[in-house]
Amino acid sequence: ASPFAWLRTRFYYLLIRLYFDQEFSVEEFTRGAKQAFSVVSKLLSQRKLDLLEELVSAEVLQVLKEKISLLPDSHRDALAADIDAIMYTTEGDVRIYYDDDGMKFVSILMCFWYLNGANLPDEVPGEAKVFQIVFGDENTKEKKHLLTANYEFQREFTEGAKPDWTITRIEHPRLLE
């Protein structure tokens, strides 16, 4: 990410604190986003989509239901991210917007890199060989893939709205197209 993108993100966080929520903390938000990502990605991989209704927007859920049913098992297994297997987390875009009724929203796109031992074919398209990490010695060789996922979190900041974040976008590139 460019320094400008980083600065812009920080500027938006400042606006969120100034105008919407003085208690907003990037660290706390990131911690919560990681937990949510881990829970949601595991439920996705177990096809327990009915348990996601409180966490994921209805539109996204509808699309996921169709996509998940078509996935091979290896790809489905690869969706699951243990919280300890999340290697790196970064913010993508932060957006603040108002709709026509004057409702206020903030959305934050989070990008996660996580290790997963699913038995993916070596030629996962677009996955560089570099991203196959081998743990242990020759006999106990354990191959893990470093995979990425993008989850967008949205919250309404209109006076009196519930202080809940909803996931409004879920992308697991090359696994869940």
| Residue 89 counted as domain residue | yes
Give the pLDDT confidence score for residue 36 in this predicted structure: 96
Range of the domain at 97: 3-111+148-171
> In this predicted structure, what is the pLDDT of residue 3?
73
Among residues 75, 76, 73, 89, the alpha carbon closest in space to that of 36 is found at: 89
Helix (H) or strand (E) holding 30: helix 26-45
For residue 139, tell me if it sits in a domain.
no
Residue 131 located in a structural domain: no
Q: Classify the C-alpha dihedral 151-116-174-176 as positive or negative.
A: negative
Q: Is residue 98, in this structure, part of any structural domain at all?
A: yes
Give 73's DSSP letter.
Answer: H
Is 143 a member of any domain?
no
Going from the first residue of the chain to its last (177 residues), give the mean pLDDT of each consecutive group of 10, the final group possibly shorter: 75 84 89 96 95 94 93 93 95 88 92 90 52 62 86 93 93 86
> What is the dihedral sign for C-alpha 154, 30, 85, 133?
positive
> For residue 130, what pLDDT is reported?
41
C-alpha 133: how far from its chain's center?
A: 22
Report yes or no on 137 lying in a domain: no
The Cα 163–Cα 155 span in angstroms is: 7
Q: Is residue 140 a part of any domain in this protein?
A: no
Q: Report how many domains make up the chain.
A: 1
User: What pLDDT, on the 0 to 100 scale, is given for residue 124?
Assistant: 52
Residue 142 in domain: no
Q: How far apart are CA 11 and CA 93, in angstroms?
A: 12
